[in-house]
Amino acid sequence: MGQLSQHFDALVGALTPELYRYALGLCRNPDVAQDLVQETFLRAWRSQQTLRDVQSARAWLYTILRNEHARLYERQRPDVRDPYELPEVSVRGYDTSTEAFSLRRALARLAPEYREPLLLQIIGGFSCKEIGQMLELKPNTVLTRLFRARKQLAGMLKNEVQEKSHELP
């Protein structure tokens, strides 16, 4: 096995879980998310010569995944699901508690323009500048979208807590 193949295998092993979580956040369908990750790695393998800097491989893979997600919706109409019926997924580091379910449900209700940068920051750990490059946005626009996403999430979660407190006997 060549050195390039070994590096690629290591990259796949290291980034598959976080790319899957990002894909799941984008499409909210476990099967589609898995397909997106596989297609991402296939495209990356085929076009690895375009990667100029190994240090940016992680951001490069996130960009490929995002483009694959966009291509998927160009080819077919999206599977419209009720955001309240998000699947339970068992992934290392993925909390299945009631609070986590509430958070996932609230994330699903965010507009994609707010959800995507937030997922890139939370799951991917990317900076505003990196997110801006991946989404082709100015860093200030990314900051604004992150602020609005957090504000909307906080509002949704606060409303949910208030609704639950009114339901108690």
Are 65 and 13 found together in one domain?
yes
Domain, as residue range, for 25 = 1-81
Whether residue 35 sits in one domain with residue 101: no
62 and 110 assigned to the same domain = no
Which residue, 81, 105, 133, sits at the end of a domain?
A: 81
- Domain boundary, last residue among 56, 81, 106: 81
**146-164 confidence digits (pLDDT tens):** 999 999 999 988 888 777 7
Is 87 within a domain?
no
Residue type, 60: W
Residue of higher predicted confidence among 3 and 25:
25
Share of the chain above pLDDT 70, in %: 80
Q: Do 99 and 156 belong together in one domain? A: yes
Q: Is residue 1 part of a domain?
A: yes
- Is there a domain that residue 21 lies in? yes
Same domain, 108 and 168: yes
Neighbours of 71 (CB within 10 A): 13
pLDDT in the model for residue 86: 42
Is residue 88 assigned to a domain?
Answer: no
Count of domains for the chain: 2
> What pTM does this model have?
0.65
Tens digits of per-residue pLDDT, 116-151?
Answer: 999 999 888 899 999 999 999 999 999 999 999 999
- 119 and 153 co-located in one domain: yes
d(CA 128, CA 118): 10
Residues 70, 118 share a domain: no
Give the CATH number of the domain where residue 25 resides.
1.10.1740.10
* CB contact burial 28-62 (16+ within 10 A = b; e otherwise): bbbebbeebbbbbbebbeeeeeeeeeeeebbbbbb
Together in a domain, 151 and 128: yes
Cβ burial 81-109 (10 Å sphere, 16+ → b, else e): eeeeebeeeeeeeeeeeeeeeebbbbbbe
Q: What is the CATH number of the domain that holds 130?
A: 1.10.10.10
Q: Please choose, from the candidates 70, 20, 68, 74, the residue with its C-alpha nearest in 3D space to the C-alpha of residue 44.
A: 68
- Asked whether 69 and 27 are in contact (CB, 8 A), the reply is yes
Last residue of a domain, one of 81, 107, 124: 81
Asked if 51 and 6 sit in the same domain, the reply is yes
